[in-house]
Amino acid sequence: MQESSTQEFLEIDDIREGVLLLKNQELRGVLMISSLNFALKSEEEKEGIISAFQSFLNILDFSCQIVVQSRKLNITSYLDGLSNLEKKQKTELLKIQAAEYRNFIKNLVEKSTIMAKSFFLVVPYRLAELIGLKAVTRGGFFQFSGEQKKISLTDEEFQRCKSQLWSRMEYVAAGLRRCELEAVPLNTSELIELFWSWHHPEEAEIGYFPEILPELLK
């Protein structure tokens, strides 16, 4: 029995110039969203943020997906820095204090589950929105090849689709800024690392990521 490749079960067909090309003939852009400590805001500020977010949702004419990624906080590099600092101390008292502080932080993280959360917003774009149904049926804008009708776009066609998707992402980012949130689009390498970490959570928790081929960074 022939084993199936993991990629056969993924919806992503390709990642190109920060754009996800899906097998269902759709494109996706991913924005990383900053966090906001809502509890520390005054009542007036809270009402303003809620009102701005409601307005943002009401003016959207396309659906978006909100994704929250939770991962155990990795402080390996911080502990290594404390260890190096401990070695540089010239007096025995300072070395002892640095060692005690390092052990305190290490034990605190080991005994408590401290999670780091990342927030993402996925912006969709369908090719049919740009080319129209007639162009799809006539095959005038892009061609299909193979039984699964894989998308084959020319560079010019891809840039047109990317431009439309980027306009949506900028529109979303502007709306979120009114809610005191910053939104930054992920590039190709960041998208690869993101999806790799979802499928390899244990390696990602300790800060390990595989080397990305240079051609994927273009």
> How confident is residue 182, by pLDDT bands cut at 50, 70 and 90?
very high
Percent of the chain with pLDDT over 90: 30
Our CA angle for 38, 39, 44, nearest 5°, is 75
For the chain, domain boundaries: 6-71+117-213, 74-113
Q: Contact 74/200 with Cβ under 8 angstroms?
A: no
* Mean pLDDT across the chain: 79
Q: Contact 125/29 with Cβ under 8 angstroms?
A: yes
Mean pLDDT of the 201-217 span: 56
Q: Which of 120, 118, 105, 113 is nearest to 72 (CA)?
A: 113
> How confident is residue 210, by pLDDT bands cut at 50, 70 and 90?
low
Q: Contact 28/22 with Cβ under 8 angstroms?
A: yes
**pLDDT tens digits for range 105-161:** 888 877 777 777 889 999 999 876 655 533 443 444 444 444 445 556 678 888 888
Mean pLDDT of the 61-88 span: 84
